[in-house]
Structure 1
């Protein structure tokens, strides 16, 4: 603990010696003394004096005047002044001392115990004040560091978001072209061997897309960019749809696929059906991958229930290879698998269960795993769902190959797309629907084409050189020809970021479709926009 400088000012040397001896046992003080008030003032200015014991009766400058001088100077007004006096204890003297700035009195002859106790008390008070001051400095420094860390984190988040958007666009754009060409080949005349090739290519491209989606999903979650959509849906129907998909895949591996639904399961609940399906799909996909013989079972049970909500546990069990006891804790970590041998034999990125864990957190739920090595595993997701009375009915698209879809009548479409493969694939698809198609490679060319020709619809890629899709849309919406400003525009975005898709609507787009897109979805969007346009003109 730092020593406190204490000044003794008395015009008589013997009083200074006596008081110094009395205070010798007080810890953490450094005594400085003077018999001259002017010299004492200089000492206070040059040294960090914290306490001053000041004799009242002195020639030239008395104690009251000395303390007043201390308090009038910013360099010395912090000093705790204690008056030491042998004059009367009358109230008027006491008040005069306080008015000058003193904080206490010591009366001669000095009582040793009282004197030591008072000085010790003031020394402790100064140490406490210094400690508070240092803590305030430390707190302020911590606040500055936290602000700096927050700014760094925000900058890192923005950088990660930009990287995620760019990576999404750069990867999804060529995959969109590949999947589009597969659609085109499937609709062409093929022999049996070629159909088999296309089927294998389709499986490979979808596997690649799943891996990319996993990487993008986990990046979105870690960046805080993934949001859950709370909506009403039939959990029972969702599980039934999942069963239909995976029952076929289980049969391909000669596995039994069973489903057990608790009769108390509410008909409709509120949550994010896409994320629920993603969780269950990951569980079942894992079971399919690591199970060679036996059974995979999907079970939905109600653990607790009230009039307004139910706690539901969704469990997938299998008779697969199981997980070693010492590996259970790490399987929900990103890029981790139970052991290296599994990665070599079965492949995989180790992202599936990591995404499940993060999705469960977003849904305010929990995940767990139980396993007997060599005898199978059980993976569970548990959450509390609010009951819903109904869910909106959605029109289901007719699952036809795209070339068999209804053709459009005399439809002229402009495609603005800088990727040749995507442009070729999209043009072929639209032409198979009876559309007349023009192609441009950037937003500036799109604006020029719109100025020269009349179009019924524009397909606009968002990321293009020279002028982006957003900029082109804004230019088209400012066209002096009012009819051209109402041309329906569908933006084609490879971004997984919600704000970028929202920006398309803000720029003036009428609809957004992602890469890679489903031809059936695109056909329906075009149909809806053209129908809406015709109603407006009628």
Structure 2
């Protein structure tokens, strides 16, 4: 690395340079200017003198040239030739022929040359000798207007540059002398002023160096003026302070040394304590790394409990004021849950801790999942949710549906949040990129408040929003678009936004996907399908009507669209099917007309499909030919209601032949959970061998030689992690699925390290469980099982599909609660912990956040030493009350 100028030069040198450079520059410029001027003057003087001599000689030689008197010419030239710088004087006749010259040396005469020119260091000055005619008449009136002149010869004066060169040398010598004098004067002045400035600094520096070397009694003794005097006083004060501090420190060191010598025999104990402290620091560091992940469990559980309790309170007798308070509690709790999720996802993205899946899914299903989730809020504000998409077969792709659902959910949620009236539309287009991939363009268009152009860019910065008042008005963390953009870039796509204030916003999502051709679909042909029927669409919103027509054109072209009920009634005829839509947030008059028209249409025996906002329902008793369907209507649900062919995705229940004869060891400590999962598996044709502990799981695996093991992570006697390690040692290729309610990434990585093939979260998603078993046993090349932690699934198992009633769950919860109560009476914390763990698993499996929160509180009290029995009793009492409230509500 080159040495900087600050280290090469001291203050004196820098002052010298600072002074000399400007002075030298100015001196050089002025000296050069005046030198050039004087040199030019010397040349001008030479030219003027030569021209003057030539004119004088020419005026004197007129008569001699006319008479041809060479002697007279010689006499005329003798005077000028005596000048030192005159080299020769030449006389030429009218034909430019040499007549007389004063010297003998080679010359160069040029015909038609200028009056002054230079050749071989000689200047040639040419002057014509002219004679004027004599007038014959004295009267000026008879004279010609122009004088008659005639050139009788030429005079050329040749001058040497020797005198000029000598003069130029004198000029240059004088200029250089002046420059040297200016440089020396400047240097003397700079040195003088530099010395006056640098000497005090050097003196202070020397004092500082002596203090640094340990001479703490050194002080500044010289007297300075101005700021240097203040600096000297400050340095002396600093030296006094340092000397006092060092003296005190030395005294303390001496005292500490004496104490240390007295306590050397305790050094080994101190080293042991230091090792323990280091271990605690490492654990604290590890806890810090897991804090954000654990925050999800620690904050989401009580917040979910708040939401659950708010739901219970809402179902109990409440005054309007209390209902409003409950609504605010529910709204703010859900908002806080969303913010926590955003912060956790943002943290994972910042640490590159998110791994994308590559599995088959349908883009249309994800969009409708999100729209259904946002429908209540949108319809409450009177917004219409509209889609314009390709046929579902064209939207089968390979990618990460969970993260894509998160992106689309953020975009649509923002559109609904910032739109007060109008529509939120989702458009999907496809354009091929190459033979393997296509570009899927998803646009979310709203008619909301819009965003000023100057605020568009900052929306993609963390914790930033377009307006500081947005957080107060609409809430949110300001991370939704940031997370969406980062996830989009992680998928290889891009996210763009166009907005106009007061007009609305368009967010465009561009993602490259590989189309999937392996989605197992079943085409269902309804028995009442009549391809001759006309479908009459009555929908007031033009864009919604166009969307419905696009969907229906996938199966039939016999579509008639009308704008009002009156037009709809004009098409009353046999074999006609009617689709009638109710606007979101309709007026009471509109609702009255809507229900009256439904009654009239259905009374004629026609099939009538009522498209209702999410907050509206038909009367409990309505004709069977009147079918309600929620907005926005899923295409396949709409086709099914209209008795048109529709598609179903094959699940494990349709592919039992592919799963047979699969056998699975199910390790789950809770009997009730074990029963439900067993029914899920048996309904799909899978042989199940249950185990209640990790030890039993190992024994069952050795005895049955299964195709797969489903392992609960937390079990008594031996947990799932240890049991998996034992099984993998003997059967390294045997796939193992772990079931856990914990979303902490550290635990998931530990499970993967132990040999777990796939981690599934509770509550169990039966479709996901069956498809995972199919992948790990039968094999499916289009799926890839991610080994990264998953977010909690939105879709969970419907227990009623497996003949498990709510009363059975209540009985099991009551039994576990009674066991905890009895164990508390017996002061047996071990049994309380085991039963409480089963209670946590059961509450998580069946989505009972209120009970899960109480059980988590008991878990925390049991793991605090010593156990606070009073707090434990209060937590158990609260659990019993919550359980009683849940049972009463369900009943």
TM-score by length of 1: 0.48
The structure whose Rg is larger is 2
TM-score by length of 2: 0.31
